Structure 1
Amino acid sequence: MMKQEGNRPYHHGDLRRALLDAAFQLVAERGVSDFTLREVARQAGVSHNAPYHHFADKAELVVALTIEGFQMLDQALRSAYEQTPGTPLERTLAISGAYLRFAIEHPAAFRLMFRPELRQSSHDAKECDAAVKNAADAAFQILLDGISASQRAGLLRTEQSVEMLALALGSTMHGLTVLFLDSILIKEKPSFSIEEKEQTATQIMHMVAQGLVAQ
């Protein structure tokens, strides 16, 4: 089982939160794999043994970071869907802009979320994988819901399943985001703002969706 919150008091008030924040900072500074639990403890200002009260090893810490990343993504995507005016399809396609913005604002966390090999050494790999999958499924549920609503509104083809359409749109959304992050096939202007990138992502998703709309 993954370790639960301990009862030992710490001056932080919330040791687990302090460790996660420290780890996110190290990931942002050094990359997704170049840090140790000892360095996380030092960054958080606690003893080098303190992380083991919550995480059996670095892999479990990575699992916790990954789950939190997907939870943050979930909030971003749902907010975009709920705040975008227009049809269910327009709201669904707006998710792509929020997905790109999340990756741009949290690049290290975004890359970590899609690096399963970094959490494979966990003591409870099956349980950890299940927890990550649940968090990821929850984050992408809004895409499925939006596609389903678009089908009911007669805006998307119904001969394809919701899952198949989600795969088509989701893979485009993710691939486009990675291309933006790595500056591949993207000729950026010096003043290319996040808002412009969001608009570009949404426009491309509209282009892709044209082949999926109900006739």
Structure 2
Amino acid sequence: MKKNKQIKTELPNNDDLREAVLAESLKILSKEGPYNLSLRKVARNLSVSHAAPYRHFKSKEHILAELTTHAFELFKQYLQKDLPPIYETEKLEERFIQMGENYFQFARDYSDLYRFMFGPKVFDMHSHPEVLKCANSSFLVLHEHISAMQHQKLIAGTDAQVSSMFVFSAMHGMASLMLNGAIEDIVADEKTRQNLTEYMKHKVLRALKESE
């Protein structure tokens, strides 16, 4: 199984306490989950006073909000990796397939972060506009692409929001099964498992073409 990338690469790695708190929080999230994160634990792990993290973050929720913002920024970068320009309409289908591959690659490379982003909500995102902005911005990458394909009559339908949610739901379902080991339990052959994600991308595209 491919080793999960070190999440710390998303954040600056320096001696600044604020960045150290974020980096240590990511480590705790990866190993223990969001419910076991606390500012006291972060302070203890960093060998600083319990009050030190509060100089930069009002609460655990503010740490989670900032980490989520970083996560969606990285996710958006992954989605846009190696994509042909959207105005090259003859490459829109190729672009869709590449975006799907980018989605699965992010889930594989940052599996802990992926689970955190799309897992149970542990804070109110509406209380942190910057988080919602980043989350919506990453979804807009897919939404704009679906709109372009509909405009060019490459896929059926006129509601880009609904079609985008269909694509996201399908990709998320496959990625979650992949990360949770469910596919590995059923399909023993690694090459066959790899082919499943390729099949999934093309199957979703075909479904978009055939939908009413």
1:25, 1:82 → 2: CA distance? Answer: 35
Structure 1 position 15 matched with structure 2 position 17: yes
- Number of equivalences: 195
What residue ranges of structure 2 are gaps of 5+ in the alignment? Answer: 1-13
Structure 1 position 152 matched with structure 2 position 168: no
CA gap of 1:105–1:156, structure 2 versus 1, over 3 A, is: same
Conserved? CA contact 1:20–1:65, under 8 Å: yes
Conserved? CA contact 2:126–2:132, under 8 Å: no
Conserved? CA contact 2:154–2:209, under 8 Å: yes
Conserved? CA contact 1:26–1:35, under 8 Å: yes
Q: Percent identity?
A: 27
1:88, 1:44 → 2: CA distance? Answer: 48
CA gap of 1:16–1:147, structure 2 versus 1, over 3 A, is: same
Matches within 5 A, 1:155-170: 155-157=154-156, 159-170=157-168
Instruction: Name the structure, 1 or 2, with higher relative contact order (CA <8 Å, separation 6+).
Output: 1
Q: Which residue of structure 2 aligns with residue 99 of structure 1? A: 103
Q: More displaced, 72-81 or 34-43? A: 34-43
Higher helix share: 2
Normalised by the length of structure 2, the TM-score is 0.78
What residue ranges of structure 1 are gaps of 5+ in the alignment? Answer: 1-11
Normalised by the length of structure 1, the TM-score is 0.77
2:200, 2:52 → 1: CA distance? Answer: 47
CA gap of 1:166–1:117, structure 2 versus 1, over 3 A, is: closer
CA gap of 1:82–1:188, structure 2 versus 1, over 3 A, is: farther
Conserved? CA contact 1:89–1:146, under 8 Å: no
RMSD of aligned C-alpha atoms? Answer: 2.8
1:160-190 per-residue CA deviation (whole Å, 9 max, x = no partner) reads 3111110111111111111111122443547
1:175-210 per-residue CA deviation (whole Å, 9 max, x = no partner) reads 1111111122443547569xx64x532421211221
